[in-house]
Amino acid sequence: MIELTPLARPYAKALFASAVESNNLDEMAEELKIMAAASQTEGVKNTIENPSFSRKEVVEILVKLFEESTSDTLIKLIEILAENKRLNLLEPIYSIYQSLLEKHKEQNSIQVYVAVEPGEEAKNSIEKKLRSTYGKDANIYFSKDPKMMGGLSIKIGDETLDLSIRGKVNKLVNQLNF
């Protein structure tokens, strides 16, 4: 499967520059988040990939779908992506845009991987500790990874703190194999 990030980067940067210029960074992020989430649903994927629809028909369907929650800038993005056969880039564009926004606001993005979804109390405790260390405005995202077997793994930027059972088992295997 082809890596979509390099293809999405120019679109995300242009969209971010437009949002900075019009001073609506957060609104654009929210609209893009909705579009990215919708683009991953089965119905929208089928519409985008349906060869019986022309690009213009796909754009019309998507514009009708998003018209109430989307600005003219994002409608234009949909048209450009459809023209270039790149509608599959909405999710990576959102991810890159979010990274640019966090860097612009000097926020930390923290990804917490857990084997099973933690309870509300545990989740709040983890968030509280991370925010006290990395800033009150840090963005914290939780993701389930059943392969971890237990524990958690925290990724901040390019640093990872692996406190999972899988990580400990791998470390032990590496020490035994020296």
Q: Residue 117 has what DSSP assignment?
A: P
**How many residues are given for the chain?**
178
Residues 6+ apart with CB under 8 A from 160: 153, 154
- From CA 4, how far away is CA 7, in angstroms rounded? 5
Residues 6+ apart with CB under 8 A from 153: 112, 113, 145, 160, 161, 162, 163, 164, 167
Say if residues 110 and 140 touch (Cβ distance below 8 Å).
Answer: yes
Tens-digit pLDDT string for the chain (178 aa): 467 788 889 999 999 898 888 888 888 888 888 888 888 888 888 888 888 888 888 888 888 887 777 788 888 888 888 888 888 888 899 988 888 888 887 777 888 999 888 889 999 999 999 888 888 888 888 888 888 888 889 988 778 889 888 888 888 898 888 7
User: Please, what are the domains in the chain?
Assistant: 5-103 (1.10.520.20), 108-177 (3.30.429)
Please name which of 82, 84, 78, 103 lies closest in space to residue 16, comparing C-alpha atoms: 103
Whole-Å CA distances, 129 to 46, 60, 110, 148, 155: 42, 46, 12, 21, 14
* Terminal Cα distance for the chain, rounded: 34
